[in-house]
Amino acid sequence: MADTATPAKAKVLVVDDSSLVRLYYRSALEIAGFEVKQAINGIEAMEKVLSEPFDLVIVDVNMPRMDGFTFLRSLRSAATADVATLPALMISTESGEQDIAEARLAGANFYLVKPVAETELVRHVRALTGDAR
């Protein structure tokens, strides 16, 4: 008998202080078959990644309370390997070489500059989560 179980959806945490950006990413990713959770800053995001498993985090740079660079540094120094090695896609309006270098040093696996087309977002999320659909 063939296995007809549906594969589990990859779970993505979108971290951005803009509700419009979160809605845009969530809509594109849910249509593409991902489960999406949201956080409005790095502190809320850290609480979420420490309490439930994710396959990827998408994070903005400029946010109140804890910016994206600080969040990524905190993530990479987490005590548990599944949190510390969680793939991270940083997406920001900051496009300078210094910003990209700082993102890499903080632990971003990839960096995109806003605005990001839905197809480009989904392509990068698929690559970073290993979703071959």
Q: What is the mean pLDDT of residues 102-125?
A: 97
CA quadruple 109, 110, 111, 116: dihedral sign:
negative
Question: Residue 111 pairs with which residues in a beta bridge?
Answer: 90
73: nearest Cα among 109, 110, 106, 103: 106
**8-state DSSP, 24:** H
The amino acid sitting at 37 is K
Q: Which two tokens stand for residue 10?
A: 């990859």
- What predicted TM-score, i.e. pTM, was given to this entire model? 0.92
The pLDDT tens digits for 1-37 are 555 566 689 999 999 999 999 999 999 999 999 999 9
- Confidence at residue 62, expressed as pLDDT on a 0 to 100 scale: 93
Structural domains of the chain sorted by starting position, each given as residue range(s) with its CATH number in brackets:
11-129 (3.40.50.2300)
**Backbone φ, ψ for residue 121 (5° rounding):** -60, -50
- Confidence at residue 7, expressed as pLDDT on a 0 to 100 scale: 67
Place of tokens 């599944």: 82
Over the chain, what is the mean pLDDT? 93
- Confidence at residue 6, expressed as pLDDT on a 0 to 100 scale: 62
Query: Is pLDDT of 75 > 60?
Result: yes
CA quadruple 118, 121, 122, 123: dihedral sign:
positive
